[in-house]
A and B are shown apart, each in its own frame.
Chain A
Amino acid sequence: MTDLLALFVQQSVNGVYLGCLYVMVALGLTLIYGVLNQINFAHADFVTVGAFAALFTATRFATKVLGLPDTGAYLLSMVAALGTGALLGLAVNAAVFAPLRERGDELRPLIATIGVSVIIENGQLWLFGPIPYQFDSPFSRETIRVGRIFFSMQSALVVAVSAAAIAALYAFMKFTFLGKALRAVAQDRETAGLMGINPNLLIAITIVIASALAGVAGALLGPVLVLTPFAGASVIVKAFAIVIIGGFGNMQGTIIAGLLVGIIEAFTVQYLGSGLIDLVVFVLLLVMLVVRPTGLIAERKEENV
C-alpha cells in the first residue's frame, strides 16, 4: 500500500469512527424531531448523564461489588447507561413534556427542554462536582492493526454499537406494530389517534428510545470526552449540524450526514488543520441551507423516523 493510500484509508477509518460517535448522539435528536416536531435542547445532558451512569457502574458497582473484569464492567456500564437514559426520558416526559403538550402549545415544550437542560447540568454539578472525571475504557488500551492501518478496540466497539443501534431502530420502525404506529403518529398525530393509536403513549416511547440512545452514546463518549457535567455540550452543536445537514427528522439523512461530517473532519485535520474543523463543518451547514434547505434527504413525513 502506498503511503498516500495508507493515509487516505487511515483517515477514512478515523472519520467513520468519529462519524459513528456523532450519529449515536444525533439519532435521538432526529427521532424526537421526526415524531414530535420538537427540538430537545436537553439532549446533550442526557448524553452526559449516560456517561456518568456508565462511569459509576463500571468503576464502583461492576468491578467492586460484582467483581467483574474491566471489559465486562464496561459492557455492563453500557447497559446501565441505556437504562438510565430510558428512565430519565420517561421521568422528564411524565413530569415536563407530557403536561405541556396537553396544553397544545408547541413553544412551551421547546423552552422547557432548555429548563430541563439547566436543571440536569446543575444537578450533576452538585452531585459530581466540576472537576473532570477520568473514564477509561479497557477497549481504549487495545489497538488493532491491519497492515499499516490501526484503530483502537474502543473505536471498533463504537462502530459496532452504532451499527447495531441503527439496525435495531430500523427493524423496530419497519417491522413492529409499535414502529408502524410511531410512524403513523409522526405522519398525522390526530388521525393516528382516530385509528385507535394512543399518541401520548407512542410519544413517550419515542422519548424513552431517544433518551436510551443518548445514554448509550454517553457510555461510548465517556472515555473520549473530558468528563464534566457540561461534557455533552462539546458534541451537541455538531450533532445539531448533522441533523440539519441530514434533513431534520430523517434517520437515513442523519446517518449519512454523521458519517460525512466525521470523514470531513478527519481530512480537514490532515490537509487544512484541526483548528479549522468547526469552520469547515459549519460552512458545509450553510451551503446545505442555501443549496438544499431540506437536507441531504428531503423531508417526507411518512418516511421520517
Chain B
Amino acid sequence: MKLALKTAVLAFAFAALGAQAQERVIRIGVLMPISGPGSYFGVMGKEGIDLALEQLKGSVSGYRLQVQYEDSACSPLQATNTVKRVLEQLKPHIVIGEECSDASLAIAPILEQAKVVQLNAGSVTMKLTESGYKYVFRIFPNGEQQGLPLGRNAYTKLGARTAVLLYEKTNAGVDSADGFEKHFVAAGGKILARIDFGRDVNDFTAIATRIAALGKVDVLPTFGLEGQQVRLSQALAQARVVKGGGGNAVQMGSIWLPYGFDQKAGAAAEGYIRIVQFDPTEKRSIVQDFIKAFRAKYGADRVPTHINAHAYDTILLVAEAVRRGATDSESIRDRFSKFRDVEVTTGRISFGPNGQTTDLSVIHFIETQKDLTWKGLDW
C-alpha cells in the first residue's frame, strides 16, 4: 500500500514537472496609473492591451502571453513598490509602463538591475533613454523629438514670435517645456515666461491673469494632465488670452491629451494645436483594422485614442519579438534592439542604440475646430 502511494506521488510530481517544462510563457507585467488624476492613461491602456491579446488569442508562436496589470498611479513611490512586487511574484520577462515620466524613471533602475526589459509607450522625459539603461525601450517620442516640430512649426507655420510656457512641475513637464524652448528660441522666438504648476493646483485664474498682463503672447505651449488642462484652457479663455475666449494666442501641446479633451474644455479649446501619437484618419490597413476591431469591442461610437493605440502597439511589439525567436528577457532585449521599421498603429518603430524610437512617423499635428471637432494639419 505504501509503495503504491509513493509511486502515485512520484508519478504526480513528474507529471507536474513535465507540464511546467512544456508550458511556454512570456510573462508581461503592466504598470499603469489606474487611480488618481492620470487614471485615464491606465484605463485606456488596458483597453488597447486587452484588444491586442484578444486578437492574438493570447499566444504567439506557441508562447502564451501572460499579462498581469498593476496600478502604479503615476506615482514614483507606488510604481517602485509595485514593480518590486511584480518582479518577485510574476517574475516577468518584460514590463510595459509606466505612462508618467516620474514613475517610469523610478522603475527603470530596478528593472535594469533585474535585467528585465522595460517597454515604455507614454513617457516623455529625456532621462529615461539618456541614462545609459540597457533594458529600456521607448516607442513614445521624447521631449526633444516633440519639442523640435512644436517649436519650429510655432515659429514657421504659425508665425509666432513670443511664447509663454505652461507646464506641470514634473520631469515630463520640464523636459517638454525645455524641448519647445530650445527649438523655438533657436528659430528666433522669445520666451516671455515659464510658468510651472503642481498637480494639486485646481484653479488657474491667477495664472491666466498673469499671462494676460504679459502683453502680446503668440503661443502657449502647455504640458499637463487632461483634468488640469481643461481648467487651464477655460481660465485662459475667460481671461481672453486664447482664441477660444476671443484672444489671439494659440495653445499648443505635445502628446498628453486624448481625443475627447476638446469636448471637455468646450469653446475654450478652439484653435488648440497639438501633437497626437495616433491619427485615426490614416489609410494604413493596420490603423483601419485596429479602429474596426476597437469599435467592435468597445462601441461603435468610440474613436481610439493615442493611449489605446500605443498600448495596443506594445503587445504587437512583444509578439513580433517572440515571432523572431525571443523566449526570455534577454532575447526580447536582443530582438527589440534589432527592430527596424516595424509597423504598428502609431507609425513605424526603429529603436536607436539607447532604446529610443528614432522614427518620427508617430508624430501627427491636429487642430481643434470651432465645432470642437479636430482636423489634421499637414505639418
Contacts and interface: CB of A to CB of B under 8 A. Distances in A.
Contacts of B197: 274-275
Nearest to A275: B196
Contacts of B43: 131
Interface string B255-276: 0000000001010000000000
Given A130-B36, A140-B234, A150-B239, A270 B209 contact: yes
Contact of B209 (A7, A221, A273): A7
A230 B200 CA distance: 11
Interface residues of B, number: 35
A140 B205 CA distance: 12
A3 interface: yes
B309 to A, nearest CB: 19
B101 to A, nearest CB: 17
A173 interface: no
B238 interface: yes
A253 B207 CA distance: 27
Interface in A256-305: 265-266, 269-270, 273-275, 277-278
Given A132-B226, A234-B202, 19 more contacts: A7-B213, A10-B209, A11-B206, A14-B206, A15-B206, A130-B39, A134-B230, A150-B239, A151-B205, A224-B202, A226-B227, A226-B231, A228-B37, A235-B202, A273-B196, A274-B198, A274-B207, A275-B196, A278-B200
Contacts of A141: 266
Q: How large is the interface on A (under 10, 10 to 19, 20 to 34, 35 or more residues)?
A: 35 or more
Interface in A124-147: 125, 130-132, 134, 136, 140-141, 143
Contacts of A131: 39-40, 43
A274 B209 contact: no
Interface of B: 34-37, 39-40, 43, 71, 169, 195-198, 200-203, 205-207, 209-210, 213, 225-228, 230-231, 234, 238-240, 264, 266
30 contacts: A7-B209, A11-B209, A14-B203, A14-B209, A18-B203, A21-B203, A130-B35, A130-B71, A131-B43, A132-B227, A150-B239, A224-B231, A225-B202, A226-B37, A228-B37, A228-B39, A230-B35, A265-B206, A269-B207, A269-B209, A269-B210, A270-B209, A270-B210, A270-B213, A273-B196, A274-B196, A274-B206, A275-B197, A278-B198, A278-B200
B37 A132 contact: yes
Given A143-B238, A273-B195, A234 B200 contact: yes
B222 to A, nearest CB: 13
Nearest to A125: B35
Contacts of B40: 131-132
Contacts of B196: 273-275
Interface string A3-45: 1000100110011011001000000000000000000000000
A254 interface: no
A152 interface: yes
A146 to B, nearest CB: 14
Contacts of B238: 143, 150, 152
A159 B66 CA distance: 54
B223 to A, nearest CB: 14
Contact of B203 (A125, A224, A270): A224
Contact of B198 (A125, A136, A228, A275): A275
B241 to A, nearest CB: 11
A155 interface: yes
Interface in A102-144: 125, 130-132, 134, 136, 140-141, 143
A152 B209 CA distance: 13
A166 B43 CA distance: 42
A213 to B, nearest CB: 19
A230 B209 contact: no
Nearest to A3: B213
Contacts of B195: 273-274
A140 B228 CA distance: 15
B5 to A, nearest CB: 48
B167 to A, nearest CB: 10
A266 B202 contact: no
Contacts of A125: 35
Nearest to B238: A143
Nearest to B38: A132
Nearest to B215: A3
Contacts of B35: 125, 130, 228, 230
A17 to B, nearest CB: 7
- Leading 7 A-B pairs by shortest Cβ distance: A226-B227, A130-B35, A269-B206, A266-B206, A275-B196, A130-B39, A234-B200
Nearest to B35: A130
A52 to B, nearest CB: 15
